[in-house]
Amino acid sequence: MSANSDALKRYYRFHAAIYDLTRWSFLFGRSALIEALQKMRLQPRRILEIGCGTGRNLAALARAFPKAEIVGIDVSEDMLDHARRSCAFAEDRVLLECAPYGPQSRLGKFDIIVASYALSMMGEGVAPVLDTARRDLRSGGAFAVVDFRDSRFGFFRRWMALNHVRLDDGLLPEIQQRFGEPAVATRQAYGGLWRWFSLVAS
C-alpha cells in the first residue's frame, strides 16, 4: 500500500463517521452526474466506482440501473463499513473491495466507470489510476467524473491540501490525455471560492 493510501486510511478513520453529514455542503454535482448517465439510456451490465467512500453514489447507481452489477473499490475500510450499510438493499449485486485501485486491480471490464471526488485525492498516483480505468472500460463505455478543479485563493488551496485534495487544475489535462476532449461542465462554488467540473467521456 502506498504512503498516500496509508494517509487516506488514517484520515478517513475519523472522517468516515461525519462524511455523509458534512460533504453534501461541498461535494456538488454527484447526483447530477448519475442523472446524466441515466439519461444516456445505456444498458450497463457492470459499473465501477473508484474511491466509492460511504456508498452514496453506489446506492444511487444501484437504484438507477437495477439490472447492473455495481462494484465499489476504496482504500478505507472505515468508509466501506458505511457503504455496506447504504447498499444493504442491493447486497446481492453491490460488491465492495478494500484496496487501492490501480494497475494491480483485477476487477474485469466495466460499461461505466465513475470517479466522484476521488481522483483529486490521489496526487501523483492519479496517472496509473487513469491508465487502469482506460484499460478496464469496455469499448463504447462511459467514464464519468465529477471533481474539484481549482481555486484562486491560496489559503483555500492550502487548507484543501491539508485535507489531501489538489486544487491546481492538473486533473483535467490528465483525463483528457487518456480519454480525449469530452464536453466539460465547470461550475463555481460559493461565489468563486473554488471551481468543480464534471464530464462523461468514452
Ligand X SMILES: C[S@@+](CC[C@H](N)C(=O)[O-])C[C@H]1O[C@@H](n2cnc3c(N)ncnc32)[C@H](O)[C@@H]1O
Residues interacting with ligand X, by CB under 6 A?
8, 12, 23, 27, 30, 50-53, 56-57, 73-76, 79, 100-101, 116-118, 121-122, 125, 129
Q: How far is the CB of 162 from ligand X (least distance, A)?
A: 14
Beta carbons of 107 and 48 less than 8 angstroms apart: yes
Q: How far is the CB of 20 from ligand X (least distance, A)?
A: 8
Cβ-based burial of 183 (10 A; exposed 0-12, middle 13-18, buried ≥19): exposed
Q: Which is nearer to ligand X, 22 or 186 (CB)?
A: 22
Q: How far is the CB of 116 from ligand X (least distance, A)?
A: 3
Query: How distant is the alpha carbon of residue 82 from its chain centre?
Result: 16
* Single-letter code of the amino acid located at 134: R
Q: Which is nearer to ligand X, 103 or 192 (CB)?
A: 103
Q: How far is the CB of 196 from ligand X (least distance, A)?
A: 12
Distance CA 200, CA 181 (A): 10
Q: Which is nearer to ligand X, 160 or 172 (CB)?
A: 160
Q: Which is nearer to ligand X, 74 or 111 (CB)?
A: 74
Q: Which is nearer to ligand X, 100 or 141 (CB)?
A: 100
Q: How far is the CB of 19 from ligand X (least distance, A)?
A: 7
